[in-house]
Amino acid sequence: MALRKEIAILGAGPAAIATACALRRLGHEVLLIGVPRNTAVEGVSQRTLGLLREHGLAAAADSVGGPGERVGSWGGIDVAGNSEYVVQRAEFDRALLADAAAMGVRICAERVVRYERLGALWRVHTKRNYVDCRVAVDARGRRAQRSPRRGPALIAVCQRLCTPRTGRVFTRLEAIAQGWCWLAADGRGMSWLQITSGREPSLRLGLDEHLRRLVATAPQVAADLSGAIATGAPIARAATPSLCTRPDEPGLIRAGDAAIALDPLSGQGMYEALRSVVAVTGAVRGYLSGYWDPIAKFMAERTAELWQQSSLKAAHHYGQEAQKNPSPFWSEAAARYRAIQPAPPIPGGARIDWRPVLNSARIELRRVVVTPQFPRGVWQVDAVDLPKLLDFLHAARTTDVACAARRFGCPPAAAAHAMQWLSDHGLLEPAGPAGGTGPHGSPADRLD
């Protein structure tokens, strides 16, 4: 039996469910199509938990264990004092579905086989059915990607273990010549080991032997696992960072790892997936309002910028370890990331241009300030519209902060910060003593 819906969300992970719940809160009818298939354990930060609660995913946030101590070493420097939360994905994904159901999201517990464009609609096929929809949000993870933009080829091999030590919740990161080990202990006798490496020759000997050989080179992890007993078979999964470069077609929007899958070393995959929900929601609502080109441009530029930023950070972290341990793995991975060059800066000074921006829950065209440092443009500083502020100051021939604050109905400090930003980028003459703009304030709000 075929269904017809306004919006179909493909997937059942954090990006899919957070997007579905956000659209439901805005009054849209949403069908979620997917089945959780992640049995891993992950580590997340406090700010990731904050985003879960911000998106109304209270049951999922409550299912997270910890916080636990984060220990280990990197580049010869001990990592200690920070905390990390432990996520049992099977339990976490059940809680996500409970949050979606509580929000009124209709759930179709079937795997998506494929989708295709049919006129003005998208047809999403499952094994038993198909759904026609105006908007399809593909949030099925990195498996859904077909992308030529990739970082170093990585494979993560994971094993669940029972350990005799209980009472301590912690995670440990330990670099080895072939990659790195990440160990999580839930304090109740369960540990999860993940070793990320390249295509090691030991993989041909079997996953059990691969893990045994690499753990033997990680003394701290080996000590933590003393007396541990493996439960179940080890699991191997692709962990190569990648950027989907296929252009989105009208009404098809990619989210989470289906758009950009970060290096697992960053530990920021879930955070960035949740952070993108506002942009994805804005893209859906913008398309339903009747326009597409600005949306496609905004989403493509946003993911490309994140790819460049994450690649630069990864090059730094891999390079740190390569200096201490110049093995082929670390040296080649660092070189691979350094080869991902950022886009050349826009020549010339700051200028005003029209660009797509995220305004509340919609993507729309607005005038922004484009600079070499901010090629996508900056729209607001402290919620003050920069181009409108510049127009007002030029027309009024003033740099008086109080006057600008009254005109825009904002605190004087916000007007001062915005005016200082314009001055710093050469668009406004510095104010004299009578109307001084004050000290440099908070960073500019970018397009999203």
Tell the CATH superfamily of the 3-64+84-148+242-296 domain: FAD/NAD(P)-binding domain (3.50.50.60)
pLDDT-derived band at 126 (thresholds 50, 70, 90) equals very high
Portions of the chain given CATH number 3.50.50.60: 3-64+84-148+242-296
Mean per-residue pLDDT for 201-207? Answer: 90
pLDDT, one tens digit per residue, over 343-371 is 666 667 788 999 998 887 788 888 999 98
Say whether 131 sits in a helix, a strand or coil.
strand
Whether a cis peptide bond, with omega within 30° of 0, leads into 387 is no
> What is the C-alpha separation between 180 and 197, in angstroms, rounded?
7
Question: With b meaning 16 or more CB within 10 Å and e meaning fewer, what string describes 195-230?
Answer: bbbbebebeeeebeebbeebbeebeebeebbeebeb
More confident residue, 138 or 372: 138
> Which stretch of DSSP H or E encloses residue 403?
helix 401-408
pLDDT at 389: 93
Nearest to 59 by CA among 29, 104, 95, 112: 95
Give the pLDDT band (50/70/90) at residue 413. very high
Q: What is the pLDDT of residue 434?
A: 38
State how far the Cα of 174 lies from the Cα of 75, in Å rounded to an integer: 10
Mean pLDDT of 199-205: 88
Q: What is the pLDDT of residue 113?
A: 93
Residue 69 confidence (pLDDT): 87
pLDDT of residue 438: 36
Give tens-digit pLDDT for 8-30.
999 999 999 999 999 999 999 99
Residue 399 pLDDT class (50, 70, 90 cuts): confident
pLDDT at 165: 74
pLDDT of the residue at 435: 42
Q: Which residues of 385-406 are buried (b: 16+ CB within 10 A; e: fewer)?
A: bbbebbeebeeeeebbbebbbe
- At residue 437, the pLDDT reads 37
Quote the pTM value: 0.86
Token pair for 30: 């949403």
Beta strands in 120-227, from DSSP E residues, in sequence order: 121-126, 130-138, 149-150, 155-162, 169-176, 179-186, 190-197
Q: Tell me what pLDDT residue 1 has.
A: 43
Q: How many helices and strands, by DSSP H and E, does the chain display?
A: 13, 23
Q: Which DSSP letter does residue 198 get?
A: S
Tell which residue, 24, 217, 8, has the closest CA to residue 103.
Answer: 24
Rounded to 10°, the helix 14-25/89-102 angle is 10
Cβ-contact 413, 438 below 8 angstroms: yes
Question: Has residue 445 got a pLDDT over 60?
Answer: no
> Which run of H or of E encompasses 106?
strand 106-108
| pLDDT value, residue 290 | 84
Distance CA 330, CA 325 (A): 7
Residue 218: per-residue pLDDT: 93
Residues of the chain with CATH 3.30.9.100: 155-238
Residue 145 pLDDT greater than 80, yes or no: no
Instruction: Say if residues 277 and 23 touch (Cβ distance below 8 Å).
Output: no
Percent of the chain with pLDDT over 90: 61
**Per-residue model confidence (pLDDT) at position 214:** 95
Is the confidence at residue 148, as pLDDT, over 80?
A: no
Q: Tell me, which fold does domain 155-238 have in CATH? A: D-Amino Acid Oxidase; Chain A, domain 2 (3.30.9)
Please give the residue that has the higher pLDDT: either 274 or 82: 274
Q: pLDDT-derived band of residue 3, with 50, 70 and 90 as boundaries?
A: low
